[in-house]
Chains A and B, each alone.
Chain A
C-alpha cells in the first residue's frame, strides 16, 4: 500500500497569516519531498529530506520553511506568502532515500489560495 496523507486538502490564507501544511507516510520510506504545481504544469521540486535531513532546497524563498520532525512526518510552514504562491502543494515519498531510480509516490495534495 503506497499512501501519503496530506492535510488540509484546502487552505485559504491572507498574506500576513502563518499556516502549515502537513504530510504523513507510514510506509517506512526514507525520503520525503515537497513539490509545487501550477495549473497545466508538471510538479516543480521545492525540498527533499533524505533520512530526516534536508538534502535539497531548490532555491525556494524563505517564506516557505520545511520541517521533518521524524521519518514519517513532513511539514511546510508558510508565512507572508504572495498571491502568486497559490498552487497545489504535493508531498511525496520514496523508499530508499532520495536516490536515483527510486519511485516517488505522491499524496493527493493541498490546494493553497493566498488572498
Chain B
C-alpha cells in the first residue's frame, strides 16, 4: 500500500531561521512527487513537481530535493509570510493513478 508520511507535523521557526520539512514515501514506481502550499481556508497552491532521485527545484526561499525514499523542502531564511501548511503528494506509475497526499506540515514563522 502506498504511504506518504510528512514530518514534523508542526514547526515553529523564528524569522530567518532556516529549516527543512520531510516527506517520506513508499510507492511502487514513483511517477512524480508534488509539493503544495496551503493557506488557511484556501486551496493548495502548486509549488514543485519532482520526477527522479537527485532532482532539485528552487523558488524564492524554497528548495525541493528528491531521493529514492524521501523529499525535503528546505526553507532558507523564512519570513512570516511563509507560514502555511505544506502538503506533499506522490504519484505511482500506471494508468490513471491519482496522487496520494500526506497529512501536511503546519509551519509558523514568528517575526
Contacts and interface: CB of A to CB of B under 8 A. Distances in A.
Interface of A: 2, 4, 6, 33, 41-43, 45, 48, 50, 55-56, 88, 90, 92, 97-109, 111
Given A106-B43, A109-B43, 19 more contacts: A6-B43, A42-B104, A43-B44, A48-B98, A88-B41, A100-B94, A100-B97, A101-B31, A101-B32, A101-B51, A103-B46, A104-B34, A104-B99, A106-B44, A106-B45, A106-B46, A108-B42, A108-B43, A109-B41
27 contacts: A4-B43, A6-B43, A33-B98, A41-B103, A42-B87, A42-B89, A42-B101, A48-B96, A48-B98, A56-B96, A56-B98, A92-B43, A98-B96, A100-B92, A100-B93, A100-B97, A101-B93, A102-B32, A103-B34, A103-B46, A104-B46, A104-B89, A106-B36, A106-B43, A106-B45, A107-B43, A111-B41
Nearest to A103: B49
B95 A100 contact: yes
Contact of B101 (A43, A50, A56, A88): A43
Contacts, number: 68
A109 B42 contact: yes
> Which bracket fits the contact residues of B?
20 to 34
Interface of B: 31-32, 34, 36, 41-46, 49, 51, 87, 89, 91-99, 101-104
